[in-house]
Amino acid sequence: MARVYNFSAGPSMLPEAVLKTAQAELLDYHGSGMSVMEMSHRSKWFDEIIQNTEASLRRVLNIPDNYKVGFFQGGATQQFAMVPLNFLTTGTADYLVTGNFSKKAAEEAAKFGTARIAASSKDKNFTYIPDVKAIDYDPNASYIHICQNNTIFGTKYVDVPQVDGIPLVADMSSMICSEPVDVSKYGVIYFGVQKNVAPAGMAVAIVREDLLGKSAKGITPAQIPTMMNYTTLLEKDSMYNTPPCWCIYMTGLVMDYLEHEVGGLEEMKRRNEAKAKVLYDYLDSQDFYHNPVQKEYRSLMNVTFTSPDADTDKAFCAAATEAGFVNLKGHRLVGGMRASIYNAMPAEGVDKLVAFMEQFRKEHQ
Ligand SMILES: *Cc1c(COP(=O)(O)O)cnc(C)c1O
């Protein structure tokens, strides 16, 4: 069996050690005589799984006690709607549009009130992040929403907005656990798990307690659909109904891996920076491939690049697949290529990709 180097933007690679643990525990989880896929979510085994998953997530991300952690179905996209439904208390919020997902989040919020575009980097095709200190925030905004790492355009925030009394809400789907985060800077952090944490099918939200119990202006908390009500679901410890059990289990395994195998998020960051540096240094060292992103805002997780023309891009992706480097085709909005080098991508995967790129360049330049 040969495992490929999978550069998919998501769902994406998981650590091999985690897959092996899941495999070993598949048929008989801890003496239960069944797999996690088959057991009741009210069983003692699952009860322990969900509690351990939350506890290790809290340790890995260093989440303060005044934040609740919940597991939700519907992916990050459902969070785009849940955030305004629950937190748009003044009827208006500030959205920073730095790519496709933040644009979608703003469009979703506009269904429930005003989603004011406080800043955008559309003028330069989302190749940078606006200066967050120079933005005129609305003092009446219920919150400020950002997408901290832009999966499609390959950018990330260096500083995040901090305005007294206005909570910051961040979509961290494609960078969560890639580096330490100061949770106390945020009112809400949410992420779909299928980029850096677990298989597809779940989002995690980390919510500061004082934000709960409210609703968008014009509706009461009781009018929020139950499955979109953070307060209800968090009060029930994500067990109001059947939760995404397998995803919660896998999230727990990945957190254990980060904590005990990697040694925490400082070390994860160091590894991610080293991996990204190899690729960006190579991109900067030649003139066949091109990365369009303003250097200081380059993503550690999603690296975009183009070759001289679209036909060569196509030939590159075909040859790369043949060589065992798969899912390098860029998003249709950007074209070219994108190497997503999440936590689970080993350093040697990036080293070998760069060697392949250089070989391809020699043959085509
Ligand atoms: C992938 C992604 C999403 C969408 O996630 P789904 O779970 O498919 O809804 C949203 N935001 C960001 C930053 C993403 O990378």
Amino acid making up residue 110:
A
Determine if ligand 1 sits within 6 Å of the CB of residue 77: yes
Ligand 1 atom with least separation from CA of 193: 7
Which protein residue has the closest C-alpha to ligand 1 atom 14?
173
Contacts of 364 (CB under 8 A, 6+ apart): 288, 307, 312, 315
Determine if ligand 1 sits within 6 Å of the CB of residue 75: yes
DSSP reduced 3-state for 150: strand
**Which residues sit opposite 51 in a β-bridge?**
none
pLDDT at 82: 98
Distance 1 CA to ligand 1 centre (A): 31
Ligand 1 atom with least separation from CA of 203: 7
CATH T-level fold of 32-261 = Aspartate Aminotransferase; domain 2 (3.40.640)
- For the chain of 365 residues, list the mean pLDDT of each consecutive stretch of 10: 92 97 98 98 98 98 98 98 98 98 98 98 98 98 98 98 98 98 98 98 98 98 97 97 98 98 98 98 98 98 98 98 97 95 98 98 96
Show the tokens assigned to 301: 């997780």
pLDDT at 2: 84
Is the pTM higher than 0.95?
Answer: yes
Do residues 178 and 272 touch, judged by C-beta distance below 8 A? yes
Determine if ligand 1 sits within 6 Å of the CB of residue 151: yes
Taking CA atoms, 89 is separated from 168, 215, 291, in Å, by 14, 6, 41
Write out pLDDT tens, residues 156-192.
Answer: 999 999 999 999 999 999 999 999 999 999 999 999 9
Which protein residue has the closest C-alpha to ligand 1 atom 8?
75
Local structure of residue 67 (DSSP, 8 states):
E
Where exactly are the structural domains of the chain?
A: 5-15+264-364, 32-261
Ligand 1 atom with least separation from CA of 80: 10
- Find the helix or strand (DSSP H, E) in which 72 lies: strand 67-72
182-204: buried (b, 16+ CB within 10 Å) or exposed (e) per residue? ebeebbbbbbbbbbbbbbebbbb
Which protein residue has the closest C-alpha to ligand 1 atom 12?
173
Contacts of 312 (CB under 8 A, 6+ apart): 364
Architecture of domain 5-15+264-364: Alpha-Beta Complex (3.90)
Amino acid making up residue 208:
R
Q: Which of 173, 190, 300, 327 to mutate to test the pocket of ligand 1 (most atoms within 8 A of CB)?
A: 173
Determine if ligand 1 sits within 6 Å of the CB of residue 10: yes
pLDDT at 357: 98
Show the tokens assigned to 298: 């380059």
Show the tokens assigned to 326: 């798969």
DSSP reduced 3-state for 202: coil
